[in-house]
Amino acid sequence: MPKLKTKSSAKKRFKITARGKVVMPQANKRHGMIKRSNSQIRKQRGTTIMSKQDGKIVKSYMPYSLRG
């Protein structure tokens, strides 16, 4: 059986936690910050945990992630 390839875009964008959850950067932070409230900008700092359903899809893109 041939080895499966990891999607390069997924390995650059997502990490898997020790519990198997998918960590991703916050969305809606690229442009248009002047329209957004300061509280929204504050809440969108750092990373967030992806939903379970979407995390399942992302994990399929990374077959050899150790914690998956």
Per the confidence metrics, is the pTM higher than 0.85? no
Fold of the CATH domain 8-61 = Factor Xa Inhibitor (4.10.410)
Q: What tens digit of pLDDT does each residue of 18-64 get?
A: 999 999 999 999 999 999 999 999 999 999 999 999 999 999 999 99
For the beta carbon of residue 51, count every other beta carbon within 10 angstroms: 10
For the cut 70, the answer to whether the pLDDT of residue 67 exceeds it is: no
Contact 26, 33 (CB under 8 A): no
Between the alpha carbon of residue 48 and those of residues 3, 20, 22, 32, the distances in Å are 31, 14, 9, 20
Between the alpha carbon of residue 61 and those of residues 19, 31, 34, 36, the distances in Å are 18, 28, 35, 33
Q: Where are the domains of the chain?
A: 8-61
